[in-house]
Amino acid sequence: MDTFASTNSTSQRELIESVVIRFAGDSGDGMQLTGSQFSDTTALMGNDLSTLPDFPAEIRAPAGTTFGVSGFQVHFAAHDIMTPGDAPDVLVAMNPAALKVNLRDLKPGGLLVVNTGAFTAGNLKKAGYDKNPLEDSSLDGYRLLKIDITKHTLQSVESFGLGNKEAVRAKNMWTLGLMMWMFGRERESTAEWLRGKFAKNPNIAEANIAALNAGHVYGETAEMPQGIHAYEVPKARLQEGHYRNVTGNEATAWGLLTGGKLAGLELVLGSYPITPASTILHSLSNLRAYGITTFQAEDEIAAVCAAIGASYAGALGITTTSGPGLALKTEAIGLAVSTELPLVVVDVQRGGPSTGLPTKTEQSDLLFAVYGRNGDCPLVVLAASTPGDCFTMAVEAVRLATKYMTPVILLTDGFLANSAEPWKIPDINSFEPFPVKHRTEPAGFHPFLRDPQTLARNWAVPGTPGLEHRIGGLEKNYDSGNISYDPDNHHKMVKVRAAKIAGVGDDIPLQKIDQGDDSGDLLVVGWGSTYGAISSAVLGARKAGLKVSHAHIRYMHPMPKNLGEVLKRFKHVLVPEMNNGMLVKILRSDYLVDARGLNKIAGQPFKIAEIEAEIRGLLASA
Amino acid sequence: MTPLDPPNPPLTRKDFTSDQEVRWCPGCGDYAILAAVQRMLPELGVRRENTVFISGIGCSSRFPYYMNTYGFHTIHGRAPAIATGLKLANPQLDVWLITGDGDGLSIGGNHLMHLLRRNLNLQIILFNNRIYGLTKGQYSPTSLLGKRSPSSPMGSVDNPIAPAAFALGCGARFVARGVDTDAKNLIATLTRAHEFQGTGFVEVFQNCPVFNDGAFDHFTAKDVAAQQQLHLEHGKPMRFGDDKGLRLRPGSLDIEVVTVGENGVTEADLLVHDETNRAQAFLLANLEPPAFPVAVGVLFRSDENLVPFEVGMHEQNKQARARGLGDINALMRKGHTWKVDGDPTGDQPG
C-alpha cells in the first residue's frame, strides 16, 4: 500500500493512496463475483481502478486443489492508475490451495486474510501442505488475519433456514463485507445487486445480504491483531463526465453496435462459443433491439461464412473468436479479401499454440492476423490498448471495413476482455457518421468497379434490379469482374488489393508519442493490453531522469505513415510483448531499426517493475 | 415473407443465361441441369434480381457464373453457411444452393447437416456424380465400394453414403431426387422444392462423362429407365416397369418387389406413396438396383409447419424492436454509473 505522508487524525481510518487486493479461492467459491462487486462499489465511490480476473479453464475443478484456484485482483487508488497492480498488498485466501498458489505474489509484510474454517487436514493435503502453515512460522513475514469465515457465515445466515451447502456458499459475501469494512466501501449497491440476482428467491438474497452485513459488523466490532485496521482511499481526480465500469468485451460489443449505427447498416454476428470471446456473443445476443442479428453457428468456419454471406446481402457481417477459431476462419477470410466484402473479425487473443491456455492472456496472434492466409492476402489489423479503447477500435473496425470493402481483424486479448476499468461513457452523437451507400445505378456497373480514391469496389446488393452479377474466390478481371486466368491481370489484381489496404494508412491517425519527448535515448513501443504497464514503467523511468518515451501502436496493419520516422528519432527501441517477439519482428523488417524485444509469455500481464527494470538495464548498458 | 410480383413482361430462358461461356466438359450432365433450371425459372415467375445462386467448390459449383442472376461462388463446402448468413440478412431473397457429392457431403457435410435441420427457406441442388471431377477423378463419399480411382487404385474400401438418406437423417423436410437428362421430371421436382416453405433438398444423379461415365446407366439409360426407376407420386400406388410394384413384405418393415397379376397380387396390395411419411421415405431412399428400382421424385415433404430458421430469427428481431431500435447512448448509461464533476472532493496526496 502506498501510504500518505500523514494519516488523518480525525478519523480512525488510515488514509492510503492506493491498494491492491487479491481475492482467491476455489473456482466454486464465487471469487469472481466478490471481486467484481468490490470493484463496482469502488468505482461508484470515485476511485480509479483496474482489475485482473484470473481463473482456471475448468469450470469446477475438484474442490480444494491448486489447479482449481480462481483469483480476482483489483487495484484502486486516489489517483489515475493503469494496471491491476504488480503485487497484492492484501491477499484473501479462502482455502489452503488459494494460499499456496498466491502467497508468492503477496508483498512482504502484506496483509493476509485466511479462512481458517477451510484449513482442514483434507484441504491441506490437497493443496500439498505437509503441515498447517497457519500453525508454524512460515507466514511470519506477513500480517496475518485468521478468521473462521465458514463458521461466522453459518451463524449469520442461521435464521434463513438454508441447507448447509447454500449457507456455506454465502461465505464470499461475508468476506466481501469484511473487506468493505476494511476499505470503507458502501454495501448498498451489492445488496441491490443481490436482490436483483435472486429476485425469484428473496430468501437467498436476504441471507446473502445478512452475511455481507455480518462480515462488515465483524470488522467494526472484533478486536483486530496488531497492525490491522481500517483504511480510507480518497476519490481519484477523474476527468469530468459520466462514468461506468467496463470490460473490454462489453466495450467491444457496444463499439460494434455503434459502428453499425454510424454506418447505417444492420449487423449480423456469426459466432461460435470460445473462451475468452464468448461474452461478446452473449452481450450482443441480448442487444438485438440495437440493430443486430446474432447467430450461434455450428462451428467457427460457419460463423465467419455466415458473416460473409450477410455482408454479401448488404448487412455488415461480424465474427468474434479467439486464436484457434481464427485459425479455422482463415480460408473464409481470404474469400472476403478476394471478393472484397466488408467483414469485422474480433480476435480475443489467448495463450497458444493450439488450445494453449484458454483463460490466460497473450498477444501471440499478431503475425497470424497480419500475414496468416494463403496467397497475397492483405487486410486491416487493429489492436485495442485498454478495455475502454475496445469501444473506439470496434467503431474504427466497422468504419474501415465498410469504407474500404475489406475484412478488418480487431485484436484484443483475454486480459482486456475480462479486465474492468472506469470508463468515461462516450456520446455516440459525437462520432462522425460514415453512412454506407450501396450501388443502385445500373449504368456502367460491374462488380469490381473501384472508387478512384479509396480503391474500394462498389457494393451492389442482391435484390437490386439491373445489378445482377457473380462474385467468387477465383481471380477476377480488373475491368469486368468476370473470372480471369490472365497472368498480367492477376499481377494487377494482387497489386491493387495491396494498394487499397496500404491506402488505409492515409486514413488513420499519425503515430503519436503517448508519453515523453519526441526524441531521446529510448522509445518503448507497445501494442494492445500492455499499455498500462508500459505507461507506468516509462513514467517511473522518466521520474528517475531517463530519456525514455512511450509510443503505443493501435493500427497494426497498415501502420501509421510516420512510424518509421518516429522510431528513428530514438537511439534505442524496446518492444515489450506478451509473445515470443512479433511486433519487434515487423518493426525490424519494415523499418530496418535495431529494435529489441522484451518478452513475457506467462499467460499473465506484464508487471510495471519488469518493464522498468528492462528500461534501466538497457540504458545502463547502452 | 411476402412474395414479389412476377416480372412484367415475363422473362425467358435467355434472360436467365449469363454472357459467360460455359466451361464444363462436353457431354457433362451439368449442361442438362443448367438448361433445366434456366427453363424453369421463367415458369416460376421469379425475378432475376431477387434470385441468388450460392455454390461451393467443384465442377457443379461453377453453376452460378452461368446464371444471369445474383451469384456467389464461395469456398469448398461452405456454401450452406454463406447462404445462412445471406438469408439471415435478407430473408426475402430466393436462394438456390448448388453443391456436389464432394462439396456437400465430404468437406461440407457438417454445414449441410445444420442447414437441413434449421430448415432455412431455400433450395439445395446436390449434383451427385459419385466422383471428384475438378481434381481429376478421385473417389467421393458417394462412390461405390470397389471404385478404382487415382487415390484408390486397389478399389475403394470407403463405405458410401446415400445423400437422400443423409438429408432425411438430418431432419430435412423436403427430400427429392431427379435425373440430369430427364428434364421434364427434374423441372417438376425442382418446382416442388421451390414451392416448399423450408429447405428443399434435391439430389440429382449427374453423369460425369470423363471420370465416371455411365455411373447411373443401369437405371437412367433409355432402355432400362422405365424398369429401374420408380416415379413417386403422392397418393398413388408405387408402380414401375410394365407390371411391377412395391409392397411391404408381410410381417416386416422391409420393402419387396412384386408383380401385379402374379400370385394373387393386385394394385390394392401395393404401397401408396405418402410424401409426409418420413419412415417410408427412409426405406425409399435406400432402395438400390438391381434388387430394387431407384425412387425418384419427391420422397418426403413434411406437413408439420416448422418455421424456417431465418423467419424465426426475424420474428425475434421484431419482438426485440417492438418499440423501435434501441438507443445505444441509453444502453451504455444503464446500471451502475456515476458522474464526476469538475471538482472532486477526494483529497490529493501532498
| pLDDT digit string, tens, across residues A258-274 | 999 999 999 999 999 99
Q: Is it the case that residue A598 has pLDDT exceeding 90?
A: yes
B153: CB partners within 8 A, 6+ apart? none
A483 touches chain B (CB under 8 A): yes
ipTM over 0.85: yes
- CA distances (Å), origin B268, targets A273, B240, B264: 55, 15, 11
Asked if B70's CB is within 8 angstroms of A470's CB, the reply is yes
Asked if A297's CB is within 8 angstroms of B336's CB, the reply is no
* Cα distance between residue A375 and residue A165, in whole Å: 58
pLDDT tens-digit map of B148-162? 999 999 999 999 999
Q: Is it the case that residue A1 has pLDDT exceeding 70?
A: no
Percent of chain B with pLDDT over 70: 97
Q: Is it the case that residue B34 has pLDDT exceeding 60?
A: yes
Q: For residue A56, what pLDDT is reported?
A: 81
Q: Is it the case that residue B73 has pLDDT exceeding 70?
A: yes
A439 touches chain B (CB under 8 A): no
Candidates B18, B67, B75, B327: best to mutate against A (most CBs of A within 10 A) is B75
B21: CB partners within 8 A, 6+ apart? none
Q: Binning pLDDT at 50, 70 and 90, where does residue A237 land?
A: confident
Asked if A468's CB is within 8 angstroms of B68's CB, the reply is yes
Q: Is it the case that residue A82 has pLDDT exceeding 60?
A: yes
* Cα distance between residue A527 and residue A22, in whole Å: 26
Q: For residue A5, what pLDDT is reported?
A: 40
Mean per-residue pLDDT for B77-89? 98
DSSP result, A323-355: HHHHHHHHHHHHHHHHHT--EEEEEEE-B-STT
Asked if B114's CB is within 8 angstroms of A312's CB, the reply is no
pLDDT tens-digit map of A357-382? 999 999 999 999 999 999 999 999 99
Nearest Cα to Cα of residue B178 among B102, B229, B237: B229
Q: Is it the case that residue A89 has pLDDT exceeding 50?
A: yes
What residues pair up with A349 in beta bridges, in sequence order?
A413
- Give contacts of A433 with chain B, Cβ < 8 Å: none
51-110 in B: which are within 8 Å (CB) of A?
52, 54, 64-65, 67-75, 78, 80-90, 92-93, 110
pLDDT tens-digit map of A338-359? 999 999 999 999 999 999 999 9
Of the two residues B348 and B264, the one the predictor is more confident about is B264
Asked if A462's CB is within 8 angstroms of B70's CB, the reply is yes
Distance of CA A444 to the CA centre of its chain: 47
Q: For residue A179, what pLDDT is reported?
A: 97
Q: Binning pLDDT at 50, 70 and 90, where does residue B121 land?
A: very high
* Cα distance between residue A38 and residue A26, in whole Å: 18
Asked if B350's CB is within 8 angstroms of A309's CB, the reply is no
Mean per-residue pLDDT for B233-255? 96
Q: Which range among A1-10, B148-157, B263-272 shows the weakest confidence by mean pLDDT?
A: A1-10
- Give contacts of A291 with chain B, Cβ < 8 Å: 325-326
Asked if B86's CB is within 8 angstroms of A317's CB, the reply is no
DSSP state at residue A454: T
* Phi and psi torsions of A450, nearest 5°: -115, 150
Closest to B82 (Cβ–Cβ): which among A308, A315, A474? A308
B46 touches chain A (CB under 8 A): no
Q: For residue A60, what pLDDT is reported?
A: 77
Block residue for cell numbers 487415382: B150
* Phi and psi torsions of A372, nearest 5°: -80, 60
484-513 in A: which are within 8 Å (CB) of B?
none
Q: Is it the case that residue A6 has pLDDT exceeding 50?
A: no
Asked if B326's CB is within 8 angstroms of A268's CB, the reply is no
Candidates A7, A272, A312: best to mutate against B (most CBs of B within 10 A) is A312
The full length of chain B comes to 350
- CA distances (Å), origin B305, targets A21, B117, B173, B349: 57, 13, 10, 70
* Cα distance between residue B249 and residue B261, in whole Å: 17
* Cα distance between residue A564 and residue A584, in whole Å: 13
Q: Is it the case that residue A2 has pLDDT exceeding 80?
A: no
CA dihedral angle for residue A276, residue A279, residue A280, residue A286, rounded to 10 degrees: 170
Q: Is it the case that residue A276 has pLDDT exceeding 90?
A: yes
Q: Is it the case that residue A205 has pLDDT exceeding 60?
A: yes
- Give contacts of A308 with chain B, Cβ < 8 Å: 74, 82, 85
- CB B235, CB B149: distance < 8 Å: no
Percent of chain A with pLDDT over 90: 93
Q: For residue A504, what pLDDT is reported?
A: 98
Q: Is it the case that residue B1 has pLDDT exceeding 70?
A: no
* Cα distance between residue A162 and residue A169, in whole Å: 10
A128: left (phi over 0), alpha (psi -120 to 50) or beta: left
Q: Is it the case that residue A9 has pLDDT exceeding 90?
A: no
* Cα distance between residue B177 and residue B272, in whole Å: 18
The gap between the terminal CA atoms of chain A, to the nearest Å, is 34
What is the grid cell recorded at A595? 529494435
pLDDT tens-digit map of A515-541? 999 999 999 999 999 999 999 999 999
Q: Is it the case that residue A8 has pLDDT exceeding 70?
A: no
Hey, is A131 helix, strand or coil? Answer: coil
Q: For residue A226, what pLDDT is reported?
A: 85
Which residue type is seen at A124? L
413-432 in A: which are within 8 Å (CB) of B?
425-429
23-42 in A: which are within 8 Å (CB) of B?
40
Closest to B340 (Cβ–Cβ): which among A238, A245, A332? A238
Q: Where are the beta strands (DSSP E) in chain B?
A: 51-55, 70-73, 94-100, 123-128, 174-179, 200-205, 229-231, 239-240, 244-248, 255-259, 294-301, 337-340
What number of other Cβ atoms are within 10 A of residue A508's Cβ? Answer: 18
Dihedral (CA of A192, A197, A202, A203) sign: negative
Residue of A nearest to B327 (CA): A290
pLDDT tens-digit map of A424-447? 999 999 999 999 999 999 999 999
B12 touches chain A (CB under 8 A): no
Q: Which range among A237-241, A376-380, B81-85 shows the weakest confidence by mean pLDDT?
A: A237-241
